Structure 1
Amino acid sequence: MSSQSQVRWIALLRGINVGGHNKMPMAELRNLCAGLGWQNVATYIQSGNILFSAEGSTSALEKQLAGAIASHFGHRVSVIVRPAAAWPLYIELNPFPEASASEPNRVMLGLAQKSLAADAAERLSEFAASGESIAQRTDSLWIHYASGSARSKITPALLDRLAGSPVTTRNWRTVLKINEMIG
């Protein structure tokens, strides 16, 4: 593969290294990605944020990585891939800039594996409590957990159901760090 035709991507894994479940050492995950022929592989923290260069479509890359993880680690995890070039738009479209500045760990960007249901935010808002706010921008969901996410009724299962496919979330600090790593 020539690196000139490769695109820079971000893969987000859902539910790894949480509470002792779906353990994946990042060095091993980077080696696994390199073994797929992906280049310039980098990870950020233990929650499964991978930057890489490769050829392919989002769905093909998602399937390739999910299959490799299942084979190598024995875990079935949701993989959501986006072009790195799209990442700055998420930052620009953040509907909660004040909360992001004051409570960056309580503002979450949610990305779905497939096209987001057009009414996902509206339907999720019905479950919002304790000052929670939800907004939808292009292919992203944004949630401000004003009182934290621990006791929220907006659970991963509910997110998946109302979005129409698996969703993974990243807090504002992680969103900014991924953007910084893109350069």
Structure 2
Amino acid sequence: MAKPVLSSKTETAAKLLQYAENILAKVTENASLFPDPVPTLAEIESALQAYRSGLTEASFRDMRQVELKNQQAAQLKALLYDFSLYVETVAQGNPATIMAAGFAPSKKKVASGESSPKPTDFRVEITQAGLQQVGVRVKAWKPARFYQFEYRKVGSENEWTRVLTSKSKTIIGNLEHLQQYEFRVTYLGTNPTPNYSDIVRCYVV
């Protein structure tokens, strides 16, 4: 059964912008096929506009603006991934419906019942004191489409904040000084059901 393929070739700013803009345009054009989208088109458009503005600010090479741009890119990718799951539910394997949403249908039959393994060798490290950021990395898993890192303050009842990337390591910034955070990660393969690593805690200094 065909599934929407969320391209991993979105690491460059131009490709990510083009990819998101195409999905937004296609879904708007074929709105009757996608009632009550999750996330909403307004959320995707807002994230797209924030990322576009972030790119402009980051062009001056201000390190804070570059980090904000990276976070905006991660947020946009996370929304597109969630939207691909919604399209998969609506399409029910119909390639034409998948393409109507701006995605490419998978070419091979996907073994959707195969869950991803629990990530191992997950590490969180202070990259440099005073930058209010940490480096996170995990043992790579070749079948993974994406790596979903998540974090929140220790003792907080807030939702986990997600950082989606096609690489097994990344930087998480804009954290609060002298606060303790907890982190976890899951692989995202053909089966989107998360299988989280053990939680790692770290103080931000």
Q: Normalising by structure 2, what TM-score? A: 0.28
* Structure with more of its chain in strand, by fraction: 1
Q: Normalising by structure 1, what TM-score? A: 0.30
- Highest Rg: 1 or 2? 2
